[in-house]
Structure 1
Amino acid sequence: MYSNTDRPQQSMPSYGRDTFRGERTSACTMLIKYHCNIIVRKAKTISKLELISFLDKCQREIKLSSSESHLTSFNYILVTLVLIRPSTLVEVTRHNFFSLLRRPLMSTIDQWFQNCKLDGKQGLFFRNVTKFLKFLFKNTETFDFNPSWLFASSLISMIATHTADLVKSKKYFSDKNKRELKSFTRLFGIYVDYQERINKEKSFPKDILFQFVGPIVRCLCSNHYIDSFEMEETSSRIEQMITSLLTAMVSQYVTLLNKTIPFIFQWNQSMFDAINHLLKLANHESVNVKVFIDHLPFVNHILTLIDTSMLYNNMVELLSTEETTLINTAISFLLKVTSEPTILAHIKQQKTTSILLRLTSTQHESLRFNTYMLLAHTATEEDIKAMPKPGILVTAVYRSLKTLIREKPDDRKQMRQTLETLKNLVQHDQLKKSWIKRNGVPILVACTKKCTEGVLTTLFEILWALSFLPDAANVLRADTEFIDKIQMISQSSSTEELKRLCQGLVWKLLQEPEYLEKIAKQRQQDKEDDNATEVVIGDDGMEHVVSTKKSAQDAADRIFQYDMMISYCHADKDIIYKIHEYLLAQGFKIWIDLNNMFGPAMNAMAEAVENSEFVIMCMSDSYKQSTYCQAEAEYAFNCKRRLLPLIVQTDYKPDGWLGFMIGSRIYVDFGRFDFATACEKLLNEISLQRKRPLPSATDKLGPHVKPSDKRSESSATSGTLSDEYTKRIISSNFKAKPLKHWTESDLFDFLFDQRLNELMPLCEKMDGQAIIQLYKMCLSQKNETYNSLNIELNSGQQIKLPVSVYTRFLSIMERITEPPAPPICFSIIEEELPYKLSNQSPDMSYDILVTSPESASRVIEIVNSMMPGTKATNHQFEQHNNPMHQSFNMVQQ
C-alpha cells in the first residue's frame, strides 16, 4: 500500500523524485506520501473542505514524527499543493499547518549563511517553500491573505541580518551557491511584492518591512552587488533581470535623487558608493536605454552631478577618489543613453557643452575620452562655433591616434574608442575641416592598412564623411592604392556593412562626379535649346532668324517613374513606415528602401533619385549623422529634385550640412503636430510644389544613357510637323458619329480639332475602334505607353511628344468615352386628337408619352424645363416591352 507505485509519477515534479529515491522513509513520511497521492489524483477538483482535511492530517502526522523526517514530508506536501487550483489553495493559506514551515525555513537559511552550503534535502526544501510562496502571491492580488508566520518578527529580523551578510563575502555568489541565492532572492522578492501592495492601501501600516531598508542600502553599496550581474553563463537571465529591475525602480531612483542631490555637499563615503553603484546598474551593458525615455528627470540629475564643482574640482588622475569614480560612471552612463535619439535631443536642449569642456581637462584618460565622445554626440553646430578653441577636440584625438599607431597598434579597444570619438567629431563641418587641415586624412588611410575588420568599418565611415569636402576627396582620389582597395572591398567583401561603406566611398570619389558632369552637360544643352533659333520666311518674303524659348508649361511636363523617394535613417523606421503606408493609401508611387538598414546600393539610390519627382528627407539627429542619408540628400539637391523636408524627431532643429541644404524651404514637423495633421500638411505641400515649375528640366540620366543622346523638351518640341498635320481642313461630321464608327479621316479631324496634332503621325491607318484600344493601353500603363509613343514619334518625325499633349489626350478621351445618360424619348400627341395606347384601358389618354429608364423625378424635371407653360403632374407607371412608361397629364400654366 505504501510502495512508490502509489504516487502518480507523471504529476509530481521531476526535481523531487531523485532526492527521495533511496532515502530511508519513516512511517510518518510514508503516510504523508500516501495522502499526497490521493490529493494529486483529484488536484483540479478538490474542494476547500477536502483540502483542509488533508492539511489537518499532514499537520498531525508531522507533529507526531521526529524532526529528521520533517523536511522530506514538507517536500512531498509542497510539490503536491502547487498542483491544486489556485482559487482553492488561496482560501486555506491561514491554516495552522503553514505555520510549521517557519522553523525549518529559518533553520535552512541559517545553515546556508553559516556553512555556505546546503545538503540535497535542505536545498530542495528551500526551493520548494519559496516556489510555493511565490505561487500563492502570483495567484492573488490582495495583501491580507498571507499566512501570518511569514511576517513574524523573528523571521523578518533573521532575513534582514543575512541580507546584510551578503556584502561580506563573494562566496554567496559563487556557482555552487547559485540555486540557494536564487531561492533567497525569490523569498526577498515576495516581500518586495507585498510592500508594493500595501503601499496602495491608505489604512494599512507601511513600515512592516522597515527592517530591510538598512541591509538593502548596504547591499547596494557593496562591490559584490554589481559583480553579481557579470555571470556570463546567465547573461540572458541577467539582462531580463536588470531590465525588470530598472523598469520597476527607476521612478524610485528619481525620487531618491530628488531628495539627495540638493545635499550633495553633505554626502559621506557610503552615499557616494550607493549612488555610484546605482549608476553602474543603470549603465550595465544589458540595459535597454529606452527604459529612461519616460524618466528624463533621472538624466537631468546625472547632468547636475557632472556640473557640481565639488566633484570636478576633486578629480584626480586615477579612480582613487569617490568624486572621480562617480563622475566617470556618470559620463559613461550619459554616453550610453545618447544612443537613443529622444534622450540625445533632451541632453542637447540642456546646453551641456560648457560643462563637458570643463571636464576635458581631467588627467584620467578613460574619463577624458568618454567626455570627448559625449561632446561629439551632444554639441550642436552652434555650440562648436561658440567654442573659444574648438580645434582642441580634434587636436586631442589627432595626437592620441598618432600615439596609438606608433606605440600601441594592437590595442584594439583603445583604437576603436579613439576612432568612435573621431567619427562623432567629423559630423560637424568645422571640426571636419580642422581634421583635414591637420593632414589627418593620410593618417586614416594608413590605418586602413593595419587595422582589423572590426575597426575598418569605423575608419571607412569616417573617410566617407570626410569625402564630402573637396579637399579630402582630392587627397583620397590621388591615392591609387586606396582607390583599388575600396573598389575591391565594394565588390567582394563578405561583410555587408563594410561592403556598403566602400560602395559609398566609390560613389562619392568616382561615380558621383561622372553623374554630375552628365547633369551639367545636360543643363547646358537645355540652356542652348531654350535659346534656339530658326530661319523663317516673313511676310516680306525675306528670311528672318527667330529665337524660340521653352515655355514654363513644357518645363514642368515630366513623367516620373515614382512620385517620390523617401530618404530616411533606419533608426527612425517606426514613424517612416507609418508615413509610407499613409502615402501609399493616397495613391502615390513611392521608392523606399524598407529592408536594408545600411542603405541602398549607391547606383540604385541614384536611379531612384533621378526617377522621382519628389525626394522626402526625413530629418533627425540620426539622419544628419548618417553618411548614407547625406549622400542621398546631396545627390537629390544636385539633381534639382523637389525636396520635401520632414522633421521626424521631436524638437529636432536641422543644422550643419542639413540646415544649409534645406535653407528656407518649408518643412513639415511630425514631432510638433499629431500624425493626421502632419500628413495633411505634407499633402498640401506636395500640391503647392506641383503648381510651381520644377527646379530643373533635367531628364533621367543613368549609366546606360549618354547625355549627348538625350534631348530636352524644348528642343524636342521645336521641330515641325508636315502640312498634312498642321494645315488640315475638317471635312467630316465626326461629332455626330459614335466614336467606334469613326474612320481614319474622322479620327484625324478629331485630333486636329482638339489640337492634338503630334498624335497624328502615330495614328496613321487607325480608326475609332483602334483609338479606343490605344486609350485602354494608356489607362493600364500610362508611363510605359507614353515612352513607347515618344520613341516612335522621335524616330519617325524627330520630335518629342509633349507631356501636355499626352495628358490632354487622356483627359479628352475620358470625357468622350463616358457612357451616355439613358435617353429620354418623347412622343408628343396632338391635343385635339388625343391618342390612346392600345394596351391601356379606353378611358386612359395621354398628352405626352415618355419612355425612359430614368427616375420619375428626373423625367418630370426635364419635361418641365423643355416645355414652358406646361406642368407634369399625377404620374403613373406602367410596364410595356421592358422600358418603363411614365404617364403624365400636361396642363397649361
Structure 2
Amino acid sequence: HGPTNTTKFHAQTVIGLMNNDIDKLQEPNKLGSSYVYYLSKTISRQFQTFEQIKLTGVVIHLKVFIQNEEVKSQVILEDGVSILTTCASDPQFNIISVQLPSLEILWSTVFNLTAAYLLRDNKAFIDYITALSKSKDNVLMPVAKGVKWQLDRLHKKDKEKKQAAIPVKVNIYGVPVDKYGEQIADKKSESKTEIIFTHDLMISYCHKDKTLCHNIYKHLQSQLQCQIWIDIEEMHGSVAECMAEAIDRSRVMLICYSHAYKESAACRSEATYAHDLKRTIIPVRMDNKYRANGWLKMILGDRLYVDFGKYEFDKAYGDLIQQLRLCDRKFKDLINNESKRPSEIRTTTDNDKPKAAKDTDKKPETSETSKRRPISAATTVSARTSHCIETSAPRSEQEPLEKLTKDNIDDFFHKNSIEIMLPVLGDEYNGNDKPKTTKDTDKKPEASETSKRRPISAATTFSARASHCIETSAPGYEQEPLEKWTKDNIDDFFHKNSIEIMLPLLGDEYNGRYLLAYCMTLATSSNAFELLRDELKELHQKTLPYNKFVTFKTKLEPYIPAGSKSK
C-alpha cells in the first residue's frame, strides 16, 4: 500500500459514486476489501487519518456502498463488522461524522444473517445499544432502537425454530402427550388468535418523498374516511415498536418506493416485516427514473405498481383507488359508498310496483300461427333473456352476460362467495370476452369487380388495418402503426394493459419495429405460450400467467398483419 493504492482507492470511490445503480458497481469485492483496509488503518492513527484518507470520509462513503450486497458480504467476510462496532461505540469518535453513520451501516448489515449473529454474540455491543435505546440521545437512540429491534426479531424467530424442532412424544393413537402421558393441548390452535385490525392502511415511505406521500395521505383520508397509519413526525426507527405494531394492526400496506427508500435501513425493516407477516402490499413508485432492485425487488416481486413518478397525480391516484378496490373488500365497500350520488336514490311509485301475481302468471293463449312456428335455440335464448329482464333481480343480473361491466362481475363473485377465482380473469375484464365492434365495422362491404380481380396481400391487409387504427379515437401512439412506436410507447402500452411482466422478454433495447417482428415470429409457433413461459421462468425467474399471455395476444392482434397471425 502507498500513494498508488491511495489514488486507486480514490478512483474506485469516485467511479462508484457516479454509478446510478448501486447494484452494478465495478469489482464490488475489491471495493469492499479496500474500505475494510482503510477502516482498520484510520481508526488506529492519530487524527484518524492514514495516507491522507480520513476515517470520516471512509465511513460516510461506505454507508452508500454497503447497499450493494457483494460489498456488504465482503465487508462481513473481512471482519469489517467488528471494526464498525468500535467506530459506533467508542466515545473518542465524533457522534455525527463517525458514530452515527457507523451505526447506520450496522443496521444495514443486520439483514445479513452472518452479520446479525456476529453482532448478537458481541455482548459489549448489545449492552451498548440496549443502554442507548433507553437513553434520551436524539441522535443515536433512534438507530440503536432499530438495530436492537431487528436483532430481537431474529432471536425470536430462532427460538421458534428450535422449539418446533423438539421431538414430541405421542401415545399409541398418535396424540401428543407429556412425560406423564397427559395429552398436550394443540399449541397452534391456542396461539392462533384472530387479528384485530385497528388500521385499514399503513403508508411506508422515505422522508425524502414526504411531500408527495403526505398529499396521497390527505386525499385518501378526505375521500375514504378510513383509518390510516403514517409516520408524519419522522419516527422511523425511533419508535420501532410503534412501527411494528402499526404493521401488525394494518390490513394493507402502501410501499411508496424510490431510490432513497431502497437505501434506508428503516424502510427495509418495515417492508421486510410486512412481507413476513404476509400483509397485502401495494407498491407505489415515487420516482420515474428508479426501478426496484436488490432486496426491494425481492419483496415487491411481480406486483402491479401504481406509478406516481410517471403520471399526473390525478391519474395515478385513480389507479391507486382501483388497486385498493381490487385488493381489499372493505376498501371496495368504502369506495362504492363514496361514489354513490343522492340522485340515484328514489322512492317507489305506483308505476314501479310489480304487476299482480294473477296478471303476471296468466299465460297468453297460443295462436295457430305460433303453434305452427318451429322453436329454435335462438328463440329460446331470446325468450329466456326477455324473462330475465322482467324479473326482480338486481339490475346487473337483469342484463345478458356480455353487457356486464367489471364492477358487475366483481359484485356477482363477492355475492356468491367465489371471489377467490377473480384473479384468474386478470386485471381488465368484462362480460364480453371479445373486443367490442360496431355494426359498421362488423359489416363486410360487397367486393366490386375490380377488387375481386386484385390479389390481396398481407401488406395490403395490414395497411388497411393500420389506416382503420389511425381513424379511431385511440389516444396518441395507439393511432399509429406498431412499427412507429417508441420504447416509451411500448412500456406505457404494456403497463396500461397490465402485461408488464412480459417486458423482460423483449430485452433491454426495443422499439415498435422490433416488437412487430417479435409478434410475427411468435405467430408462426404452435406452442407460443409454452415458449414464453419457459423463457421467462429460466432467464428472469418469473411465472407467466396464462391470462397475461391471452391479453398480450389479443391487445396486439389489431396491429399485426393478417397474413402473419397464427391460426
Q: Scaled by the length of structure 1, what TM-score is found?
A: 0.32
- The structure with the larger Rg is 1
Q: Scaled by the length of structure 2, what TM-score is found?
A: 0.50
Select the structure with the greater relative contact order (CA < 8 A; seq sep ≥ 6): 2
